[in-house]
Chain A
Amino acid sequence: MNDAVEVTLRAVGVLAAFLVLPLLVGQTEHKVMAHMQGRLGPMYAGGFHGWAQLVADGVKFVQKEDITPAAADQRVFRFAPAVALVPYLVAMAAIPLSPDVVAADLPASAVFVLAVTAVGILGTLMAGWASANKYSLLGAMRAAAQLLSYELPMVLAVASICLAAGSLSLSGIVAAWSPWWLVLQLPGAIVFLVSAVAELQRPPFDMPVADSEIVFGAYTEYTGLRFAFFLLSEYAGIVVMSLLFAVLYLGGWHGLASDQLGWLWTLLKGFCIAVVVIWLRVAWPRLREDQLQRLAWLVLVPLALAQLALTGVWVVVAA
């Protein structure tokens, strides 16, 4: 009985974080992007600097008509948003904010989080295939190609961290973290960040939804709440990847008064990374498909392999 209550509480906590943090990132994106472009962004919804803009957007999405195209594969089409969204919810449960604040402390949580986030792309693929629309299909294919290219450098970068920490658990990695990693793991950190942005299909790696080429990629045919779920999964993905970056490379809850405020440190570091992800979107134009593949295979993979070799040598020498 007690276990059931605890599991419920943890699940509710993860769900709350899953609903609040992406909105926070989304609002930050509204405001940061606006100010980077010399605008103000939302100013009216909710009264104070438009803080409730995304809530208003959500209400609007609920009111929209939910259309399934006649030619679409109905069940797959309707199921795809859930497949895109749920993996990030699951991943969020496994990311520790501090040794105590973690919903599910798995022994190999680093591997688990990477594996689960890669499932999210399946939702995009399903959406693109089931939409019966050439733009959707093109977008889905681009998304799949992108994921295949960038999953490898990302896994290699995380492997380097796990090698340095001697642990596959995220909690174990943070426990083994030392400030030297900021320098020694810097190439790996850059590789991870670039791969994460690419995997989230965020600009400058947003060819799968390139609106000037293929309407809105795999999400072209979606309306209403299902479309909102895809958007939410993108922002939940930013939260997951930012927190993962904070935990892997920035020492998670290490900081002042980490016993009490450790979770706040993790959130703060993750938020800074989310702002960087937003910043990249504002600053850089979209890459072409061939440029994207070239970057992955000719730059990131060799860099990640070199990082892995460097870490290996360091671990052997230091041991």
Chain B
Amino acid sequence: MTEEAKKPGAIGIPGILKGLATTARTMAKPTHTAEYPHAQPHLPPRSRGVIALLEENCTSCMLCARECPDWCIYIDSHKETIPATTPGGRERQRNVLDRFAIDFSLCMYCGICIEVCPFDALHWSPEFEYSELDIRDLLHEKDRLGQWMPTVPPPSALDEHSAEAAEIGATTRPGRLVRTTPARPAPTRATPSGQEPPPASGQEPPPPTASEPAPEPGE
């Protein structure tokens, strides 16, 4: 606001005219309205429309259901015994998913379930046209959640100069050597007690690329 417009009794004529000019200019310009049902909206990348389930990846670990802030994920599963593949081998048990349902009338689209899923079974899909006349129909069972899977877009490209995605890096790095015995600290490393470390029993030294101490397997 100009100085004279603040004074009592003075009229902010320039401001008034500016208001008229702004509205007139806006009228001359094209409108911003997108006539939605007739024109599809342009959604930004990573739009959160609906949650898709890739059932094959789900291990019924319940992490998503436990982390869900409003508890809108329902999972039922049972254990199935897989007979041993080799004679005398151990029988294994496996979780079988019976029911996976998300109640979208409760979901607040926080995406925590998708974040915590360790096996990438849940994905964001940008589809949003799944309104229902009955609120109970917003409970999507696993077949319906699976139908959203084809609409999941590929992950968007990383920013320039950004760090490589962890899973991509894991595939391109040279693999760790398969050790036949538990790893021991390198012989050059000094031991605090001054004791002689047990001799590395005839195994080759760690590869030069893995300069940092490798984590213990099975830790």
Contact = CB atoms under 8 A, between A and B. Distances in A.
Q: Do A and B come from one complex?
A: yes
B9 A284 contact: no
Contact of A35 (B8, B11, B22, B31): B31
Given A283-B20, A299-B11, A40 B27 contact: no
A36 interface: yes
A284 B19 contact: yes
Contacts of A279: 20, 23-24
A40 B33 contact: yes
B181 interface: no
B32 A39 contact: yes
**Residue from A39, A282, A294, A299 whose CB has the most chain B CB atoms within 10 Å:** A282
B27 to A, nearest CB: 5
**Residue from A32, A40, A295 whose CB has the most chain B CB atoms within 10 Å:** A40
Interface string A55-78: 000000000000000000000000
Interface string A263-281: 0000000000000000110
A35 B32 contact: no
A36 B26 CA distance: 5
A39 B16 contact: no
Nearest to A35: B27
B29 interface: yes
A298 B11 CA distance: 11
Contact of A298 (B9, B16, B29, B31): B9
A38 interface: yes
B23 A39 contact: no
B35 interface: yes
B31 A34 contact: yes
Interface string A175-198: 000000000000000000000000
A43 B31 contact: no
Contacts of A299: 11
A195 to B, nearest CB: 16
**Residue from B9, B11, B22, B23 whose CB has the most chain A CB atoms within 10 Å:** B23
- Chain B interface size, as a band, is 10 to 19
Interface residues of A, number: 18
A271 to B, nearest CB: 16
Nearest to B38: A43
Contacts of B31: 34-35, 38-40
A294 B9 contact: yes
Nearest to B34: A40
A37 interface: yes
Interface in B18-55: 19-20, 22-24, 26-27, 29, 31-33, 35
Given A32-B27, A294-B9, A299-B11, A283 B33 contact: no
Interface in A1-52: 32, 34-40, 43
Given A294-B9, A298-B9, A282 B23 contact: yes
A284 B33 contact: no
A38 B29 CA distance: 8
Contact of B32 (A32, A38, A282, A294): A38
Interface string A281-296: 0111000000000110
B148 to A, nearest CB: 31
Nearest to A43: B35
A36 B24 CA distance: 6
A38 B11 contact: no
B27 A283 contact: no
Given A39-B33, A40-B31, A283 B23 contact: yes
Contact of B23 (A36, A40, A294, A298): A36
Contacts of B9: 294, 298
A204 to B, nearest CB: 9
Contacts of A37: 23, 26
**Residue from A282, A283, A284, A298 whose CB has the most chain B CB atoms within 10 Å:** A283
Interface of B: 8-9, 11, 16, 19-20, 22-24, 26-27, 29, 31-33, 35
17 contacts: A32-B27, A36-B24, A36-B27, A37-B26, A38-B26, A38-B33, A39-B33, A40-B31, A40-B33, A40-B35, A43-B35, A279-B23, A280-B20, A283-B22, A283-B23, A294-B9, A295-B11
Interface of A: 32, 34-40, 43, 279-280, 282-284, 294-295, 298-299
Q: Which 9 A-B pairs have the closest CB atoms?
A: A283-B19, A36-B23, A40-B33, A283-B23, A35-B27, A36-B27, A38-B32, A283-B20, A282-B23
